């Protein structure tokens, strides 16, 4: 398996707090069957992104781990005005493994209407946005139609493995299942931060997905699509996004029912 979103590098953000923890996270990943990870420290107002420092921490960890786990770098890109301006200056430094895909995280309590346009501008910079864990965002999961629109616009979706196993609560779990059953997911990643509450472990959720959707889909979400991101290639598994007209009709009929009820 290949993990495209984790906070394995030491002392950069709220992820690993020491080289020792990072090494243990790497051992945990190897034991789990993970062969590559992309270390994605936060890039936001609280944790500014310093690409040279990220690369040196990566080199230090890679030297200790050896070839059993290949470590690339990228970032967990928070979509803010300042970050977007920095992205325009030098898009590749923020991209996953410095190729063409970009993890994009939204604020939990504000998803502005201008976001559709901003995502398009990111695409015009030559990057392919991957929307991170929408199942954990109360605003996005209250209205899937916006996410379906971003999928039709050519964006991709990554969910957190632990959401599917209930680690982020019932709402995130139900939302993750809805996305999985709607074929609206391209990647499942650990978003690991530590050794206990947010571990770098994917196997149990791989099994859950294989049971619910079949082994081929599990392979695509945990291995084949993530590999394409690592290498900067086109995704081999590209499900057809949910139908926008059907989703609007469903929402409208729900609204009418509520109107008659009251
Ligand atoms: Fe993250």
Write out pLDDT tens, residues 129-168.
999 999 999 999 999 999 999 999 999 999 999 999 999 9
Structural domain boundaries enclosing 25:
2-261
Tally of domains in the chain: 1
How many CB atoms within 10 Å of residue 149? 16
> Region 172-190: what's the mean pLDDT?
97
**pLDDT band at residue 176 under the 50/70/90 scheme:** very high
What is the percentage of the chain residues whose pLDDT exceeds 70?
A: 96
Q: Give the Å distance between the CA of 90 and the centre of ligand 1.
A: 21
Kind and range of the H or E run holding 149? helix 144-152
> Region 165-182: what's the mean pLDDT?
97
Q: Give the Å distance between the CA of 137 and the centre of ligand 1.
A: 13
What is the percentage of the chain residues whose pLDDT exceeds 90?
A: 87
Q: Give the Å distance between the CA of 188 and the centre of ligand 1.
A: 12
Residue 107 confidence (pLDDT): 83
- Given a cut of 80, is residue 71 above it in pLDDT? yes
**Summary mean pLDDT of the chain:** 94
CATH number at residue 85: 3.20.20.140
Dihedral, 136, 6, 14, 44 alpha carbons, nearest 10: -70
Residue 254 confidence (pLDDT): 67
Say if residues 5 and 132 touch (Cβ distance below 8 Å): yes
Task: Please state the pTM of the whole predicted model.
Answer: 0.94
- Tokens 């999961």 correspond to 141
Q: Give the Å distance between the CA of 160 and the centre of ligand 1.
A: 9
Residue 111 confidence (pLDDT): 82
Residue 257 confidence (pLDDT): 64
Cα 142 from Cα 193, distance rounded (Å):
27
């Amino acid at each position: 398996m290949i993990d495209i979103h984790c906070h394995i590098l030491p002392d950069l953000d709220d992820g690993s707090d020491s080289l020792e923890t990072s090494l243990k996270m790497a051992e945990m990943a190897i034991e789990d069957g993970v062969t590559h990870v992309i270390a994605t420290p936060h890039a936001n107002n609280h944790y500014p992104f310093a690409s040279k420092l990220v690369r040196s921490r990566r080199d230090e960890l890679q030297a200790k781990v050896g070839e059993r786990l290949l470590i690339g770098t990228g970032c967990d890109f928070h979509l803010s005005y300042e970050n977007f301006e920095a992205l325009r200056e030098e898009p590749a430094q923020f991209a996953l493994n410095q190729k063409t895909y970009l993890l994009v995280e939204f604020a939990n309590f504000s998803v502005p209407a201008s976001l559709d346009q901003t995502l398009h501008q990111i695409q015009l910079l030559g990057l392919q946005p991957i929307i991170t864990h929408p199942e954990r965002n109360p605003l996005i999961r209250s209205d899937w139609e916006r996410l379906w629109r971003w999928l039709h616009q050519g964006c991709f979706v990554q969910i957190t493995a632990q959401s599917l196993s209930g680690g982020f609560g019932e709402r995130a779990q139900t939302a993750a299942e809805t996305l999985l059953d709607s074929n609206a997911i391209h990647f499942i990643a650990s978003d690991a931060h530590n050794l206990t509450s947010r571990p770098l472990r994917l196997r149990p959720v791989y099994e859950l997905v294989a049971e619910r959707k079949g082994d081929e889909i599990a392979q695509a979400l945990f291995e084949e699509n993530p590999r394409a991101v690592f290498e900067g290639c086109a995704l081999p598994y590209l499900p057809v996004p949910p139908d926008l007209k059907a989703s609007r009709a469903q929402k409208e009929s729900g609204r009418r029912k509520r109107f008659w009820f009251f």
